[in-house]
Structure 1
Amino acid sequence: MYHHTETTSIKELERAIYHEYPDREDGQAVLTIIHARGTSQYEGGGTEHPSTDTRFRNIIRQYSRTNTRTLTVALETPTKKYTDFTLKEVNNLYEISNTEAPTLSDLPHFTGISTEPLDSKAHKESLRRLLDEIDSRIRAIPSITFSNDATCSAYVCSFLTQAVLIFNGELTLEPERLLRGRHGHGKVDYAIEALAEDGSRHVLAVTKVKHEDYRKGLAQNLVQLEFISDKRNSSVPLRAYGIVTNAIYWFFVECTIDQSQESGDRPKFRVSKLKDIINYAKDTWGVEAESVLGQIVWLMRKMHSEILERELQLKKQKFTTSEQSAPSARTVGKMQRV
């Protein structure tokens, strides 16, 4: 199959594979590129899971430049759903803590969390809308139903929506976004995204709503964050952020992958529980909600600062590829089936 390097996509390749192997079309497989030993830039071989069309096209251009005519790909189904992970398993996977069965207090602390003052017009409007929404929910939904994820999610959505609106379209919220990575797959409750210059979307953060068992919710969140932080060959540290909450208790998570360090592509995590606890049955809930909103906006400000780093990384990859590629480069002419 021949495709132009500027228009080919991961989905196009997946469709071609599914056409030959329709039994594999389960919607959960992850595209894996297997680099042969000696391939330029991939001398040691290895595998890669391109998460964007831009990265996939860069790989194709590099293969074309070196006249490597065979692209070996595989569709792998992750062994676990995100919901199946436990904190003990994730701790062993990423070597987060020396404790075999860690509690939240055993994990590295996310220090320096602050509250953004809600004093601008946009801040005040978002706060007013949030308080109005929460007040309506308190009066319409009995507090006993906080025992299920659906009720918790309704409250959490109000906080995330109003925080995102402060950024005037630069951040967006996508409920139930499907993520498929090398360690797991499944839908995240909420993904916070930014639109890239090439039209693709950067996932900057994911939120897990869990009405009970925060340890399990945190385990899911950590694996999801590793996937959205993992950009191969990145020359700068990349960070992603997570929120685990039941709308009463709130946990913030930071995930960093720094290829320049000895840890390589192994992520580093920091986790902290916010001091504010929102008691919707008391008159103080409004003050507590305002404080939590300010901290969510602060966290989104850190997410927003990641946009520039990721855009610069994309531009660097494109520039490097264009310098190395022949003007008439076309995509790989032969795909080896696996």
Structure 2
Amino acid sequence: MFACAGCGTELTAPVSRITLPVHTHHGGWEELHPALMEPAAYAVDPRPTGPPWRSWEEVGEELAARQDVYAPAYFVSFGARNRIVIAPGDSRSMALIPEKCEGYCRGVDGRAGPNLACEGCGRAVATRVDDCGSWQTVWLEPEAVVRCPSGLPAVPPPGWDDLERAEHRVPPVEPDGSWSRRWEAAVGVALAHLVVATGGSPVTLPDGPVAELLGHAVALYLPVGPGGRSVGLAGPGTGTPRPRPDVLLVPRHPLTGAAWRPPGDDGAVVPLDSGIWAYFVHPGETSPMPATGVLPPGVLRDDYPLPSFPWYPLTPHEWAFEHTLIGLPAVRSLRMRGYGNQGA
């Protein structure tokens, strides 16, 4: 758990660390979102986030690179690194600071800095974000809190085998028929890595779900067609296609964030949100009909409803793509400049 660095008041429930979700900063505009984090979990963002912000023209390329921004962006964050994010339900003993509760239209967005104070000493310790377009979060300031043991037994960390659990898969379509916001963000992040891995070259996608779901999104940023660099799907339990494609789409570990790699393989890989990767590899039941035979006498047929299909193809979250790309050092090469000059 985390406690106030000033007075020791416990500020969170017991939490265990997982990797920062790739969709953390990327939501749907003017939509209310659920909590980003699962209960009893926390993650750390290594990049500077939040205010104060400075323009690219004011900062310059060298100073921006120190802030992990390697291509022109509208604004560069000079906020704290290693801010800690938890689910709002895991926060304890904190009160809103009324004069810091600015937002866009439906809540607070943290634009004025920390807006939660420790109830023990009044010190500003965290930022509550719940405005439209943002996932519900509480961000603990790294200099204002300290870690302390909860006294509870450690929970076994998730492993690669957990990716096969049905509840780990993230469907691409929401119940209302729209594309999953998590998918839109995750695809944007993966595409930034794919652009770097291929150097902007044409690509060839594998037949099946990858081409069906990602073909439109990839074509927005890379030429797609015969003769391009081959892309394939690989990961734990599935092995590696033979011959090995030029680039492998692999899962990010749900605990460490490390990209899966085949043993002894140092070829190009593109990390993908493990929940999205798991859906590609283990889509689950696709038909309610029995493979053979007929229903027993007297049993009425009860088909599942047809799955929802959005009326437009899956489009990556533009800010997720740009935010990820400008944070990759390879974007500084002249060959990659054209992908990083739109601003963020």
Instruction: Please classify the TM superposition score into its range, dividing by the shorter chain length.
Output: under 0.3
TM-score normalized with structure 2 length: 0.25
